[in-house]
Amino acid sequence: MNMYDIIYKKREGGALSREEIEFFIRGYTNGTIPDYQASALLMAIFFRKMTKEETFELTRAMRNSGDVVDLSGIEGIKVDKHSTGGVGDKTTLVAGPLAAACGVPIAKMSGRGLGFTGGTVDKMESIPGFRTTLEANEFISLVNRVGLSVIGQTAHIAPADKKLYALRDVTATVDNLSLISSSIMSKKLASGSDAIVLDVKCGNGAFMERFEDACELGELMVEIGKADGKRTIAVITDMNQPLGLAVGNSLEVIEAIETLKGNGPNDITELSLRLASYMIYAGEKSASPEEGYAMAMQALESGAALRKLCEFIEGQGGDPRVIEDHRLFPQPSCYAEIHSEVDGFVGAIEARAIGLASQHSGAGRATKEDSIDLSAGIMLYKKVGDLVKKGDLLATVYGNDQIRVDKGAQEAAAAFQIQADKPEESVLVKKVIQ
């Protein structure tokens, strides 16, 4: 078996066997297959596509390229929740405590932000003292004791994906359903949970802009999960405007805290409850998603989920006083305000543009080596459909570098579209695939 024959076979439209896929993943991971041959195969896959069976085998080979986490030491059905990436998406910090408060063990590995989307690990590290690196026994012990732990993904989880994604990023082979789904699901399957709830974003602030593409991706990932024996549910959700009002690390954690106090924006509250309902259902703590929703609502209204967040923060070394004193978070020294120049209704807020503006203000990174300003970001004061008057405050951009903050404010201002007529309200949860 050799790479030339594998590349030729896929170039001609043939379906690769399990052995051929394993040969490629093993060889590329250990360095015996060079980048130029891997690039050629990726381009052949991009144009010729893969069958479902090939996609399943690619996912398994990537999962098995590194460690597969053993969570058998955690009692109960472990449920993982993953978002395909959006702007202002802090649902892990809300849905996680909601589900954990209902008895579902959440043992989650999350990543850092890159580009216009934020990362859960970066957000949590804005909490003073919070540790995102734990030893395996401490991680398992914390989930058994608190019901919830979120840590950074180790380099030993699906290392083939890390190498392949970096190569796809520079060879224009990112946008392929088989390559996207295997990248996401190889890490999810290697992370050890028994069930997976996928939040598949759809819209101008998501990787999948078209509803049909998001559904196709969701369906494929659900099939991959089920083929591996994992109960998997995909929720297709709207990302045509930022989720909630806060975009940026510490700002989003504060909004998550306020949401669990019952003071959150309607969209982040509703989506977190819906995701938690499926997590509770997948964890077999409810007989239906509807019952799971009622349980999550009770956890929110009773304060049980907020107490769970406090336990989670304290368990990972964070200062639980941030729950009541937001001044303990990193503080910005600069800001710039964006005001409406006309009367009308907010017709659109381009999520991707807001995400990039937040990144450029200091809240995000262009490369994985970049440092970030945990206090930087954007607070929105209007959402799509809101009435505005000339001079009304639309948003404030924060950071510690006035030049960067001003640049972010210019970009954020361009993301707002003000129109004469009130737009139709968009549907937050578009479809559920299970």
Residue with tokens 């004469």: 420
- Please give the biggest Cα pair distance in the chain: 69
DSSP of 100-125, one letter per residue? HHTT--EEEEE---BTTB--HHHHHT
Which residues are within 8 A (CB) of 15 and not within 5 positions of it... i.e. 6 or more apart?
Answer: 50, 51, 53, 54
Contacts 24+ apart (CB under 8 A), 51-55: 51/15, 52/220, 52/223, 53/15, 54/15, 54/16, 54/21, 54/178, 55/177, 55/178, 55/181, 55/182, 55/220, 55/224
CA 352/CA 300 separation, integer angstroms: 30
The torsion angles phi and psi of 109, rounded to 5 degrees, stand at -110, 125
- Token output for 129: 């003292």
Tell me the chain's radius of gyration from C-alpha atoms: 22
Structure tokens at 245: 């009002």
Q: How far apart are CA 196 and CA 269, in angstroms?
A: 21
Place of tokens 């580009």: 115
Nearest to 315, CA basis, from 142, 187, 64: 142
Q: How many CA atoms lie within 13 A of 51 on its CB side?
A: 11
Q: Where are the beta strands (DSSP E) in 242-305?
A: 246-247
CA distances to 324, 359, 392 from 414, in Å: 35, 15, 15
- The rounded distance, in Å, linking the Cα atoms of 22 and 29 is 10
Give the residue numbers marked as catalytic.
Answer: 82, 161, 168, 183, 187
